[in-house]
Amino acid sequence: MNAQALIDTARTLVAGDKGLLAMDESNPTCNKRFAKLGIPQTEETRRAYRELIVTTPGLGECISGAILYDETIRQQKKDGTPFVKAITDAGIIPGIKVDTGAKDMAGHPGEKITEGLDGLRDRLKEYFQMGARFAKWRAVITIADGIPSRGCIEANAHALARYASLCQEAGLVPVVEPEVLMDGDHTLERCRAATEEVLRTVFNQLNSQRVLLEGMILKPNMVLPGLTCPKQAVVDEVADATVRCLLRAVPAAVPGIAFLSGGQSAELASARLNTMNLRFNSRLPWALAFSFARAIQQPALETWQGKEANVPAAQRALLHRARCNRAARRGEYTAAMERT
Ligand code: 13P
């Protein structure tokens, strides 16, 4: 393991005011998002959509790393340029999603365990050769009556740590993503307690598996009330609860925390990240960045609608969200940015 290379990559991913773009939707997830908008669900439409993203002029000003899916990392632009080259030429580090999805967990009704460890060492080797320098694995934790269970939290944390250790062996920075879902009517406090327990367990496991904390990125959820909780929280409450939770559970050796958006609106995701940076930035040991999929892509996807003629407008929408989130890293995002 080349520790210095891992540390350098991890630092670059969260340096300055840039963040990550997750464009690693699996084929079924990508197809589901296309279907909602009446876009045909084919390999070619998925390729065309990803070409739109990676050729967005100026994207590299805001985005340090792009997370790809197995199909995408093997694809090319229409002119034959591999996506990995297009991304690298734009000054963006290519990354790769390597889990094989969250499956129903045996003996744990309503809970999921993420799979993908079998054969992972060989797959990581191949992705490194293809140019990837970081990877992502997402665990999913659900809050509902009587869950999350210890069994589910421990199994997912263990898998995340096994994955992270294998990544570092292969020279890839692991993005460690334990996502506590927003679905449900739970309170902000319940999300905070669950998130804190999950993160503590994840870092215990990362230590057991000898993961170099300086050479990884944490990708957590923000601490939020459930989507159907009658008492929603204002932006300041979310920022407070999230930062307090992270300060308790995330070691200072981790260089950066890059949030997932998890189904928040694009504007709220930017506003909440902005408030955290505005109010706490100088007091935090790690960078607070973003690794959004929907909160960067959704407006662009809705503008594109699968039509070639809409590509420039969709690219403008994508760049706009990327710029809003770059501003949020500096604590300079304002609602007025949405009107320009
Ligand atoms: P969202 O930002 O849409 O939650 O996606 C982030 C991600 O990469 C999920 O694994």
pLDDT at 340 over 80: no
Query: Quick one: tokens of 25?
Result: 């939707």
The active-site residue, picked from 177, 196, 197, 237, is 177
| CB 68 near ligand 1, within 6 Å | no
Please give the angle made by the CA atoms of 248, 5 and 115, to the nearest 5 degrees: 60
pLDDT at 176 over 80: yes
pLDDT at 338 over 80: yes
Percent of the chain with pLDDT over 70: 100
**Position of tokens 């407006």?**
299
For the question of residue 307 being annotated catalytic, the response is: no
pLDDT tens readout for residues 216-256:
999 999 999 999 999 999 999 999 999 999 999 999 999 99
Q: How far apart are CA 34 and CA 188, in angstroms?
A: 32
- pLDDT of the residue at 306: 98
- pLDDT of the residue at 175: 99
pLDDT tens readout for residues 117-128:
999 999 999 999
Q: How far apart are CA 243 and CA 288, in angstroms?
A: 10
Q: How far apart are CA 321 and CA 59, in angstroms?
A: 10
Compute CA distances 136 → 159, 237, 255, 324, whole Å.
12, 29, 16, 24
pLDDT at 339 over 90: no
pLDDT (mean) for 273-293: 97
Task: Tell the residue nearest (CA) to atom 4 of ligand 1.
Answer: 262
| CB 19 near ligand 1, within 6 Å | no
For the question of residue 112 being annotated catalytic, the response is: no
Within its chain, how far is the Cα of 93 from the centroid? Answer: 14
| CB 22 near ligand 1, within 6 Å | yes
Q: How far apart are CA 332 and CA 317, in angstroms?
A: 19
| CB 160 near ligand 1, within 6 Å | no
**SS3 label, residue 319:** helix
pLDDT at 278 over 90: yes
The mean predicted confidence, pLDDT, of the chain is: 98
pLDDT tens readout for residues 55-88:
999 999 999 999 999 999 999 999 999 999 999 9
Task: Give the position, in ligand 1's atom list, of the atom nearest the Cα of 67.
Answer: 8
Task: Give the position, in ligand 1's atom list, of the atom nearest the Cα of 138.
Answer: 10
Residue 4, number of CB atoms within 10 A of its CB: 10
Percent of the chain with pLDDT over 90: 99
DSSP 144: B
Q: Which of 41, 147, 159 is nearest to 103 (CA)?
A: 159
| CB 177 near ligand 1, within 6 Å | yes
90: burial class by Cβ within 10 Å (0-12, 13-18, 19+)? middle
Helices (H), the chain: 3-13, 27-36, 43-54, 70-73, 83-89, 120-130, 150-169, 188-208, 235-249, 266-280, 294-304, 311-330
